[in-house]
Structure 1
Amino acid sequence: MRITFDDLRVFVAVCQAGNLSAVARDLACSQPAVSQHVKRLEQATGVRLLERGPDGVTPTSEGLVLYAAARDGIVGVDQALRQLGEMARGQVGCVRITTGATTIRNFMSEAVVDFRQRHPHARLDFRTIISSRRCFESLAEGVVDLAWVTIADSIPGIEQRPVVELPWVLAIRDDDPLADRSSITPADLTEIRHIQLPDNAVSRIHLDTALNRLGIQLAPESGVADWNTAVLLAELGAGHAIVPCLPYDSAAAANRPIRFQPLPFLPPLTVGWAARRWETLSPLAGSFADMVEERCRNR
């Protein structure tokens, strides 16, 4: 029995949704039609691909093998069709980028200007996503071409390229007793009121790992979604924030009651680009990635 592209596309959708009815609604077809696509794949491969349960369906171990391969293939074809469509319509192209909330200002502003001058008819489509994990998922799903992330451990189907290492600093209000210290020691951190990032943030995991190796356990004072908010709360005296060394509105810093104390005993945080495959990036996406990297390394 011949496997069709639609069979694979429906199977990938089922694995992602975990529910046949939901996929049927999204595709505006019947649930038996969705089941038929999966059945054809199971007959062609000779293995069971889905486990059916009261709460929906999950891929079997064999199904996971097919899902990973089919997802990557479909994403690649969809990206190629998008680029061909742009060429057919006479459009120069678009680069889709996902970033964290602080990325464009701190890492990309100069490169955006350079890119616009070099490619005046091309389009940059920025999609703000706070979590690096969600950025990786957007890449795997083919929603974006590039992601600026905290570099993580190896992720199947994703290639990462480190660009810059960021030292850690302690953000504190200038009337805090730690503000006048000539240096901060690991022991000093045990007494701070910690403003922390979400548990699933990759940068939070890096920081917690480094602190644990020093035997430091921090009691959280409050939680925030991004580094800029953590710095703002520290400035307001709501706690102390351990953040990567970034400008944080440096033009106005002289008039703000905030200090940034270096923490050289913590290993720096590495950030950079991630893509599905560098060799398949469009020339425009590769050009923008290179511009950002060059600007960061020239600082």
Structure 2
Amino acid sequence: MVSKLDLYRVFSVVGKNESFSKAAKALFMTQPAVSQAVMQLERELETRLFNRTPKGVTPTTEGSLLLEYVNSAINLIEIGEEKIAEFKNLTTGELRIGVGDTISKYFLLPQLEAFRNRYPNIKLKIENGTTDVLISFLKSGEVDLGICNLPVNDATLDVRPCFDIHDTFVYGDKYRKLLAKPIDFHDLAKLPLIFLEPSSNSRKYVEEFLFSKGVKIAPEFELGSHDLVVEFARINMGIACVTREFTEEYLDRGILHEVQLKEEIPHRSIGVCSLKSVPLSPASTKFVELVVS
């Protein structure tokens, strides 16, 4: 079945060539098929669109008017198709990512650099927030991807782990003698503790693990950023719960020291989250492939 759009395409090519035979060659159709398409369109519009002459065809007044609109519409369609091709080839587009400050600093920035080097024409938009906030951004359509501290338990989301991290405790020089030997969680809880604020997914994970061991914490300080937690430990305000991978510079330089725990806290992951109900854009797909590989 020939669609109305197909009829208009034939009509447009005939109008440009002013010939059924030339239009047939341009469209890779037979001349009778081109003639039939024009006649069908004329019947549907109840208007003669071309004057037929031995030398070819010329548009009628009505045909000239219609050609202007049809050619304009077809040009817009072709431009739209070109734009779609550009999106697929990642020569244009936008990638909106939701991420927390700490993950952004220690994990995302190198990934963004690699992505921008490969796809320099993709516009990047970054939104910051806690894991709970990032999930709300995803569900409201404000971001395409959320890079979150896992675990995230939400049936509406696809969650792809991409980087393992380890929670641990660190301290400054003031506590070196006190913490010279391995310590268990019960004794650790008696010390002045520095944690992230309760809404943090990192805090929730460690707190729930300690509670499963029969240990309830009462932090001395609850802070809004990982960097601030590290700095409080550096000036000997207490024992800080941190992500080891994000504190390596302090540990390697001997500014902070890692608590020797009698039992390791199980590792967790950073992951890329997206809505199951929304297909990933080409840019999102390539970014996920980059960070999950």
Helix, strand or coil: the match of 1:175? Answer: helix
What amino acid maps onto 2:288 in structure 1?
Answer: A
5 Å matches for 1:44-193? 87=83, 92-129=92-129, 131-177=130-176, 181-193=180-192
Asked if structure 2 preserves the Cα contact closer than 8 Å seen for 1:169 and 1:262, the reply is no
Asked if structure 2 preserves the Cα contact closer than 8 Å seen for 1:195 and 1:220, the reply is yes
What amino acid maps onto 2:193 in structure 1?
Answer: H
- Cα offset for 1:193? 0.9
> How many pairs align?
209
Structure 2 residue runs without a partner (length 5+): 1-79
Asked if structure 1 preserves the Cα contact closer than 8 Å seen for 2:97 and 2:126, the reply is yes
Report the TM-score, using the length of structure 1 for normalisation.
0.62
Q: Specify which of 231, 255, 258 is matched with residue 257 of structure 1.
A: 255
- Cα offset for 1:265? 2.7
Distance in 2 separating the partners of 1:153 and 1:103: 15
Helix, strand or coil: the match of 2:146? Answer: strand
Flag the 1:167–1:278 CA change in 2: closer, same or farther, 3 A.
farther
Superposed CA RMSD in Å reads 2.7
Helix, strand or coil: the match of 1:199? Answer: coil
Helix, strand or coil: the match of 2:174? Answer: coil
Flag the 1:244–1:96 CA change in 2: closer, same or farther, 3 A.
same
> In the TM superposition, what whole-angstrom CA distance separates every residue of 1:132-155 from its partner, at most 9, and x where no partner exists?
001100000000000011223431
Distance in 2 separating the partners of 1:223 and 1:247: 18
- Cα offset for 1:278? 8.2
Distance in 2 separating the partners of 1:153 and 1:285: 20
Flag the 1:140–1:85 CA change in 2: closer, same or farther, 3 A.
farther
> In the TM superposition, what whole-angstrom CA distance separates every residue of 1:177-196 from its partner, at most 9, and x where no partner exists?
46752533223312221112
Flag the 1:179–1:164 CA change in 2: closer, same or farther, 3 A.
farther
> In the TM superposition, what whole-angstrom CA distance separates every residue of 1:104-140 from its partner, at most 9, and x where no partner exists?
22112322222112111112211111x1001100000
Flag the 1:95–1:85 CA change in 2: closer, same or farther, 3 A.
farther
5 Å matches for 1:261-280? 261=259, 263=261, 264-277=263-276, 280=279
Distance in 1 separating the partners of 2:81 and 2:266: 45
Distance in 2 separating the partners of 1:233 and 1:86: 54
What amino acid maps onto 2:126 in structure 1?
Answer: F
- Cα offset for 1:164? 2.5
Report the TM-score, using the length of structure 2 for normalisation.
0.64
Flag the 1:86–1:140 CA change in 2: closer, same or farther, 3 A.
farther
Residue 229 of structure 1: aligned partner: 228
> In the TM superposition, what whole-angstrom CA distance separates every residue of 1:51-97 from its partner, at most 9, and x where no partner exists?
xxxxxxxxxxxxxxxxxxxxxxxxxxxxxxxxx89948x77011100
Asked if structure 1 preserves the Cα contact closer than 8 Å seen for 2:179 and 2:259, the reply is no
Asked if structure 1 preserves the Cα contact closer than 8 Å seen for 2:98 and 2:147, the reply is yes
The alignment-based identity, stated in percent, is 22
Flag the 1:279–1:135 CA change in 2: closer, same or farther, 3 A.
closer
What amino acid maps onto 1:281 in structure 2?
Answer: L
Distance in 2 separating the partners of 1:238 and 1:135: 31
Segment drifting more, 232-241 vs 270-279: 270-279
Asked if structure 1 preserves the Cα contact closer than 8 Å seen for 2:179 and 2:260, the reply is no
Residue 215 of structure 2: aligned partner: 216
Structure 1 residue runs without a partner (length 5+): 1-83, 295-299
What amino acid maps onto 1:194 in structure 2?
Answer: L
5 Å matches for 1:22-41? none
What amino acid maps onto 1:211 in structure 2?
Answer: L
Asked if structure 2 preserves the Cα contact closer than 8 Å seen for 1:179 and 1:261, the reply is no
Distance in 2 separating the partners of 1:122 and 1:128: 19
Helix, strand or coil: the match of 2:101? Answer: coil
- Cα offset for 1:254? 5.1
- Which has the greater radius of gyration? 2
Asked if structure 2 preserves the Cα contact closer than 8 Å seen for 1:148 and 1:272, the reply is yes
Flag the 1:178–1:267 CA change in 2: closer, same or farther, 3 A.
farther
What amino acid maps onto 1:175 in structure 2?
Answer: K
